[in-house]
Amino acid sequence: MLNINDLQKVLILDYGSQYTQLIARNIREMKVYCEIHPFNMKFEEIEKYNPKAIMLSGGPSSVYEEGAPSADKRIFDLNIPILGICYGMQLITHLFGGEVAPGTKKEYGQCSMEIISSSKLFEGLENNTIVLMSHGDSIAKLPEGYKVTAKSDNTPFCAIENEDKKVWAIQFHPEVVQTHNGDKIISNFVFNIANIRPDWNMDNFINMKIKEIQEIVGDKKVILGLSGGVDSSVAAVLINKAIGKNLKCIFVNNGVLRLNEADKVIKLFSEHYDIELIYADASEVFLSKLDGIEDPEKKRKIIGHTFVEVFDEEAKKIDGAEFLAQGTLYPDVIESVSFKGPSDVIKSHHNVGGLPEKMNLKLLEPFRELFKDEVREIGLKLGMPEDIIYRQPFPGPGLAVRIIGNITKERVELLQKADDIVVDEIKKAGLYRKLWQSFAVLLPIKTVGVMGDLRTYESVCAIRAVESQDAMTANWAHLPYEVLDKISKRIINEVKGINRVVYDVSSKPPATIEWE
DSSP line for 475-504: EE----HHHHHHHHHHHHHHSTTEEEEEE-
Q: Which of 86, 158, 249, 461 is labelled catalytic?
A: 86
Confidence of residue 336 (pLDDT cuts 50, 70, 90): low
| 66 labelled catalytic | no
**pLDDT above 70 (res 154):** yes
Confidence of residue 333 (pLDDT cuts 50, 70, 90): confident
Q: Which of 175, 314, 335, 516 is labelled catalytic?
A: 175
Contact 449, 499 (CB under 8 A): yes
Q: Residue 430 contacts by C-beta under 8 Å, 6 or more apart in sequence?
A: none
Taking CB atoms within 8 Å and a gap of at least 24, the contacts of 273-278 are 273/236, 273/237, 273/240, 275/236, 275/237, 275/240, 275/247, 275/249, 276/245, 276/247, 276/248, 276/249, 277/226, 277/249, 277/250, 277/251, 278/248, 278/249, 278/250, 278/251, 278/314, 278/317
3-class SS at 26? Answer: helix
| 86 labelled catalytic | yes
CA separation for the pair 462, 460 (Å, rounded): 7
- Mean pLDDT to the nearest integer, 475-489: 97
- Mean pLDDT to the nearest integer, 188-216: 93
Confidence of residue 358 (pLDDT cuts 50, 70, 90): low
DSSP letter assigned to residue 69: -
Residue 272's pLDDT is: 75
Confidence of residue 372 (pLDDT cuts 50, 70, 90): confident
Confidence of residue 453 (pLDDT cuts 50, 70, 90): low
- Mean pLDDT to the nearest integer, 436-448: 95
Confidence of residue 6 (pLDDT cuts 50, 70, 90): confident
Residue 223's pLDDT is: 94
Q: Which stretch of 92-96, 134-138, 314-318, 347-351 has the lowest confidence by average pLDDT? A: 347-351
* Higher per-residue pLDDT: 353 or 466: 466
220-262 pLDDT tens trace: 999 999 888 899 999 999 999 999 999 999 999 999 999 999 9
CA separation for the pair 173, 339 (Å, rounded): 20
Residue type, 15: Y
**pLDDT above 60 (res 375):** yes
Radius of gyration of the chain (CA): 25
Residue 456's pLDDT is: 85
* Higher per-residue pLDDT: 335 or 495: 495
- Mean pLDDT to the nearest integer, 98-103: 82
Residue 258's pLDDT is: 94
Q: Which of 37, 135, 173, 180 is labelled catalytic?
A: 173
Residue 177's pLDDT is: 85
Residue 191's pLDDT is: 97
CA separation for the pair 488, 492 (Å, rounded): 6
Q: Residue 258 contacts by C-beta under 8 Å, 6 or more apart in sequence?
A: 394, 398, 399, 416, 419, 420, 423
Q: Which stretch of 99-103, 198-202, 423-427, 482-486 has the lowest confidence by average pLDDT? A: 99-103
Mean pLDDT of the chain: 89
Which stretch of DSSP H or E encloses residue 324? strand 321-325
In DSSP terms, which residues pair with 386 in a beta bridge? none
Contact 447, 460 (CB under 8 A): yes
Q: Which stretch of 49-63, 154-168, 394-408, 461-475 has the lowest confidence by average pLDDT? A: 461-475
CA separation for the pair 353, 121 (Å, rounded): 39
- Mean pLDDT to the nearest integer, 274-291: 92
- Ranked by mean pLDDT, the top range of 83-92, 98-107, 124-133 is 83-92
Contact 168, 147 (CB under 8 A): no
- Spatial CA neighbour of 361 closest among 323, 319, 325: 323
Residue 155's pLDDT is: 85
| 175 labelled catalytic | yes
**pLDDT above 70 (res 2):** no
Residue 269's pLDDT is: 84
CA 163 to chain centre: 34
